[in-house]
Structure 1
């Protein structure tokens, strides 16, 4: 029943008169003087009928019609028109207006228009009710049909299952082959508890019990036939699960786990009982065998002398062996590139990603960062781990440490370079020695003392260089244990200065000693440390001799304590070195003396310092000189 409506007109007099008429007809009347006000009132009260003038300032009646229909398509809108608004009135009908009436508004015409609008509203309500009832009836009928189909399908399934079980019973009577392959005691029993059929495993271990009572296979079963699992299933209609003891054909007792399943006929009664007994002893044997196999493979996994990790598709580590954990720490669940390389992103050409992509094994040589901060060279192989659908679910990564192999290769490469360098250096020294010996022989033949002296000095110098080269080679090639001693620092450095000082003075280079008092003691091998320091001093002297730009040269041999370390400095004002030379200074076979050096001297110095737990650094400026600093730890009693 329609009991309210909205009247919209911009003329106050018409609005009051029409509102009185509508109120007399029994309607609750809401009024508005404009289209904008009408929309506010409509949204607040939701009247089912709107009566509006077409011609209004601002929002016209047509605009109001569109707005109302947009928000509430079921609201009926009656248009009030003037005599010249026939075209507009027709347009309003196209926009689903309910009716239109002419001014001045006649109560009789207004009542007829309202009756039509009310009838349309009531008709829609009835149609909606009929539609809802029809939908409910359709749903109810559909549910009944679905239930019927379900019941019919269930009946068909039950009928088929009953037929299959009847065939199964016949198969058992003929010794069904499927059950013969099961490693369990399988038997089928009728509703009286009689054994109908058994599988071969049952017959071999427990005997042929077909035709006997189901309880007779159990220990003390004849004393309580109603207590057997099959009897309990027949009595309750429920499956049973229990631990029992059966008697084998050899008379031995055998523990089993028994499962019984009732098989019902079409009437719902239990027709057959299927009994499956698991051999507990066999299960334990298989469990032990599985445990031993798992332990064996785990041992192989852990004891393999390679780092092995099992990687998931997201590159997290699922499992790792002992060698992996030793090198990289406990990283299960972590990203493999984070654990092995310290990277946040996957490695370029990651072999695991390639294996996940194409399912093939891949190999890569790379460097790993260990948990101790060291680096190792490794050769990595990957292998796919597949599931039953042949999908690659994980990748096995195996990394072999080839650091020693690479070190050996580098050593062999260095050895080749050494041989080439030595061949060239020895050839030059022998040529020079041949020239010096010619001078000696010539001086002897001619009785030329000056020529003889010069030749002998050259021979002496060349022999010294050959000796130094041989000693460097022996030190570099020889691997021996150090002879560690408790050394007095001042005594050690004094001996070094006495060895190198005379050569410097002889070559016109001033040799200065600056030793701090109370230098203390250190632990080391004097046969390693002393030659290394002498090598530094002789290099400083050579740098001064090569410098022709200065008139006076000097080498300062300095030593002092700094905290717990001994600092030894060798400073010269010789030719100096550029930055590129400084960067290569301690590399093997790199020499600043050209053909006069082996390239081993400073490499050996650094090796000697490293062996004593120390460090060495160098500063230099071309044309001004160089300074070398050696840091050695002093002993605790120093």
Structure 2
């Protein structure tokens, strides 16, 4: 039972008599002769139940009810009214009064009204407790779900990484077997073939290690204003000799007048490097549809603001099932040469910039990867 109760009535006699009855019921009674005094007491005592006369000088009981419900909506207010004020009493129910009692006040009516108020208070407390428990339960289940998803992702990553390492180890075993045969037979062709296999798989180990290190760095993006053309020019200068050594037409197109945007230049450099490296490998592995071996890197303003990067090649293109799996963990189209991390890393970096990456590719018509970055990623 709630200990504190506020009795508001301009008649001192009623406050005294009714106060005794309330005290006998176990309440600590606070009295107020008008609504203004009641509001002052409410600020200090915060009673859960208020009994107030409807007709009082100055602010009447309904106005007090409205003020209490506006400030303390959980407070239960019981109205005291004379027989001639029934319309006002009924009106008070529209403003969320708990009940009303007619004067002279009978002990039975008072007990029933107080019991109803107490039941509402208890029900509200139970509801609040249930809501809090439900929130804690949802929070705990959400935490467990996130943990389960994290463990599943870790398991999937470990499984994919183990498969990749197993393939590399198998390649090294094969290379060493050929080398041993070459040494045993003193066969130069075997030696060259075995060494090529070993060197290729050692390169895969190096690439895998670098990709994993770069992936770990994606949580530490260092954003600053950068000329959007800068990462593209750096990648172009870095990869031009390799492309030209294989007879490819390597083109860089940077729109003039591009404004600096907030980005992590090292991250975007890594994205473009991955895409250009993939394009060169794709062109080397396939016969171009139009007889040309061409890779184009372009930088332009995006329609919605920010910058757009495109890396296009003239390789044989990809079908829909391949495109659907491009950004999955450890999926690669490079066979034994790929790690399946590069495009996953690229997408992660782009998403850290709040950007998007899309691919347009059709068999026989080449591929074009498009990165759109906003001018402010955070």
What band does the TM-score fall into relative to the shorter chain? 0.5 to 0.7
CA distance in 1, matches of 2:374, 2:20: 79
Deviating above 6 A after TM superposition, structure 1's stretches of 4 or more consecutive aligned residues are: 285-290, 441-450
CA distance in 1, matches of 2:366, 2:372: 20
- Are 2:12 and 1:243 aligned? yes
Select the residue among 560, 563, 571 that pairs with 2:300. Answer: 560
Q: 1:528 to 1:481 in 2, by over 3 A?
A: same
CA distance in 2, matches of 1:465, 1:519: 37
Residues 352-378 of structure 1: per-residue CA shift (max 9 Å, x gap): xxxxxxxxxxxxxxxxxxxxxxxxxxx
Select the residue among 179, 182, 202 that pairs with 1:463. Answer: 202
- Are 2:32 and 1:291 aligned? no
SS in structure 2 at match of 1:257? helix
**What is the TM-score with the length of structure 1 in the denominator?**
0.37
**CA shift for structure 1 position 438:** 4.9
Q: Which residue of 2 aligns with 1:573?
A: 314
CA distance in 1, matches of 2:292, 2:197: 24
More helix per residue: 1 or 2? Answer: 2
More strand per residue: 1 or 2? Answer: 1
CA distance in 2, matches of 1:611, 1:581: 24
Preserved contact between residue 486 and residue 521 of structure 1 (Cα < 8 Å): yes
Q: 1:278 to 1:292 in 2, by over 3 A?
A: closer
Preserved contact between residue 257 and residue 278 of structure 1 (Cα < 8 Å): no
- Are 2:165 and 1:410 aligned? no
Select the residue among 364, 368, 376 that pairs with 1:627. Answer: 368
Q: 1:462 to 1:519 in 2, by over 3 A?
A: farther
CA distance in 1, matches of 2:344, 2:206: 18
Preserved contact between residue 520 and residue 634 of structure 1 (Cα < 8 Å): no
Aligned residue pairs total 280
**CA shift for structure 1 position 541:** 2.2
Q: Which residue of 2 aligns with 1:365?
A: none
CA distance in 2, matches of 1:535, 1:605: 7
**CA shift for structure 1 position 621:** 0.6
Q: 1:387 to 1:489 in 2, by over 3 A?
A: closer
Alpha-carbon RMSD: 4.4
Q: 1:409 to 1:455 in 2, by over 3 A?
A: same
Q: 1:492 to 1:292 in 2, by over 3 A?
A: farther
**CA shift for structure 1 position 595:** 5.9
**CA shift for structure 1 position 605:** 1.0
SS in structure 2 at match of 1:469? helix
CA distance in 1, matches of 2:177, 2:292: 34
Unaligned runs of 5+ in 2: 4-9, 32-40, 50-72, 75-118
Select the residue among 253, 262, 268 that pairs with 1:529. Answer: 268
CA distance in 1, matches of 2:45, 2:322: 65
**What is the TM-score with the length of structure 2 in the denominator?**
0.59
CA distance in 1, matches of 2:162, 2:341: 14
Structure of greater relative contact order (alpha carbons < 8 Å, 6+ residues apart): 2
Preserved contact between residue 332 and residue 340 of structure 2 (Cα < 8 Å): yes
Residues 112-131 of structure 1: per-residue CA shift (max 9 Å, x gap): xxxxxxxxxxxxxxxxxxxx
Unaligned runs of 5+ in 1: 1-182, 184-240, 245-255, 261-274, 295-318, 321-385
Preserved contact between residue 574 and residue 625 of structure 1 (Cα < 8 Å): yes
- Are 2:170 and 1:424 aligned? no
- Are 2:354 and 1:613 aligned? yes
**CA shift for structure 1 position 447:** 7.4
Residues 191-243 of structure 1: per-residue CA shift (max 9 Å, x gap): xxxxxxxxxxxxxxxxxxxxxxxxxxxxxxxxxxxxxxxxxxxxxxxxxx952
Residues 478-498 of structure 1: per-residue CA shift (max 9 Å, x gap): 564222333333332122123
Larger Rg: 1
CA distance in 2, matches of 1:412, 1:461: 33
Preserved contact between residue 161 and residue 330 of structure 2 (Cα < 8 Å): no
The within-5 A match list for 1:506-525 is 506-507=245-246, 509-525=248-264
**CA shift for structure 1 position 602:** 1.8
Q: 1:282 to 1:541 in 2, by over 3 A?
A: same
